Amino acid sequence: MTGVPAVFLDRDGVLIEDSGYPHLPEHLRLIPGASAAVRRLNRLGYLAVIVTNQSGVARGLFSEDQMHAFNGLLTRRLAQDGAVIHAVYACPFHADAQDERYRHPDHPDRKPNPGMLLRAIADHQIDPARSFMIGDQQTDMAAARAAGVSGFLFEGGELDVFVKELLGG
């Protein structure tokens, strides 16, 4: 039995504007075309999975609860536009953490490591060969490669146009 296809989406810089550790409702500014891109991917049968490094937790800038609340707000905001996010994986660990609970020299979930993608693949019976990652950093591309998933670098602009071109029209 083959698994389902998925798109792994980085959060900051891909779905929302990267304002520097966004975590408050007023920080939630969707990238142009984000909702339309996720809707397009949903219609084509892709599970949409957010995989995001969130070192702001480790750095003491906001709590893990605030991170989860913000991610929930983002998924609800996209859902208002008919765009379904099936799962969110967030890594609050960092080597330079202020809070030692989140200090880890090289956490397996922290991109460029593939841990979040590998957990999502196992949790949701995802077929890596039919899946891909959209990220805005080389660490996203490295995580995709390490998980056996194609990676595509989004360098700004309209996300739906990027996705449409990526999928061949």
- The domain segmentation of the chain, as residue ranges, is 6-166
Longest CA–CA span in the chain (Å) reads 47
Q: What is the pLDDT of residues 43-91, one digit of tens each?
A: 999 999 999 999 999 999 999 999 999 999 999 999 999 999 999 999 9
pLDDT at 1: 54
Q: Residue 16 above 60 pLDDT?
A: yes
Instruction: Output the average pLDDT for the chain.
Output: 97
Binding residues for Zn(2+): 91
pLDDT at 169: 73
Residues marked as catalytic: 10, 12
How do 87-91 and 150-153 pair as beta strands?
Answer: unpaired
The pLDDT confidence band at residue 130, using thresholds 50, 70 and 90, is very high
Binding residues for Mg(2+): 10, 12, 136
CATH number of 6-166: 3.40.50.1000
DSSP letter (8 states) at residue 51 = E
Query: What percent of the chain has a predicted confidence (pLDDT) above 70?
Result: 99
Binding residues: 10, 12, 91, 136
Q: What is the pLDDT of residues 132-143, one digit of tens each?
A: 999 999 999 999
Q: Residue 144 above 80 pLDDT?
A: yes
Q: Residue 2 above 90 pLDDT?
A: no
0.95 surpassed by pTM: yes
Exposure on the CB side of residue 83, measured as CA atoms within 13 A? 22
How much is the average pLDDT of 34-51?
A: 98
pLDDT at 35: 98
How do 47-53 and 150-153 pair as beta strands?
Answer: unpaired
